[in-house]
C-alpha cells in the first residue's frame, strides 16, 4: 500500500495551496482519511480528518481556513488550504485508517512566508 502526496510548496501568507493524496495497492475498507502535520521540533498533530461517510474533524487552528474532502472511488483525499499563515509551515502527512491498521504517506513540505 502506498500513499502518494502532492501539492506542497512555498506560498506567501494569505495564499492558498491544495494537497492531494492517492492511496494505491491492495487495501480494503478505508475508514478515515486525513492530514497531519509536523513542524520542526514539534509533535505530529492532526490537521483534518474525514470518515467514509463524510463526517469531518478539524484542528481548531485551521477551522474556517482549511477544507478536507475525499473521493472514495479513487481512494483519494484532498486538503484545500486558504488564508495560510506562517505558523502553518510544516511537513504535511497523509494518513488512512482501516479496521486493522493505519498507513502514512512520505510527507510534503508546506512553507508559508511572512
Say if residue 93's pLDDT is above 90: yes
- Give pLDDT, residue 60: 98
- Give pLDDT, residue 35: 98
Say if residue 29's pLDDT is above 90: no
pLDDT digits (tens, 9 = 90+) for 44-85: 999 999 999 999 999 999 999 999 999 999 999 999 999 999
Farthest-apart Cα atoms in the chain, separation? 42
φ, ψ of residue 56 to 5 degrees: the values are: -115, 155
For the residues 20-37, what does the mean pLDDT come to? Answer: 93
Amino acid at each position: 500500500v502506498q500513499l502518494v502526496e502532492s501539492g506542497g510548496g512555498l506560498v506567501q501568507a494569505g495564499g492558498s495551496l491544495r494537497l492531494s493524496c492517492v492511496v494505491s495497492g491492495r487495501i480494503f475498507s478505508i475508514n478515515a482519511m486525513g492530514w497531519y502535520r509536523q513542524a520542526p521540533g514539534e509533535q505530529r498533530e492532526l490537521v483534518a480528518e474525514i470518515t467514509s461517510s463524510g463526517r469531518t474533524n478539524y484542528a481548531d487552528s485551521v477551522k474556517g481556513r482549511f477544507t478536507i474532502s475525499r473521493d472514495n472511488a479513487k481512494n483519494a483525499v484532498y486538503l484545500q488550504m486558504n488564508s495560510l499563515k506562517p505558523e502553518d509551515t510544516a511537513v504535511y502527512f497523509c494518513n488512512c485508517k482501516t479496521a486493522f491498521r493505519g498507513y502514512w504517506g512520505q510527507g510534503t513540505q508546506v512553507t508559508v512566508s511572512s
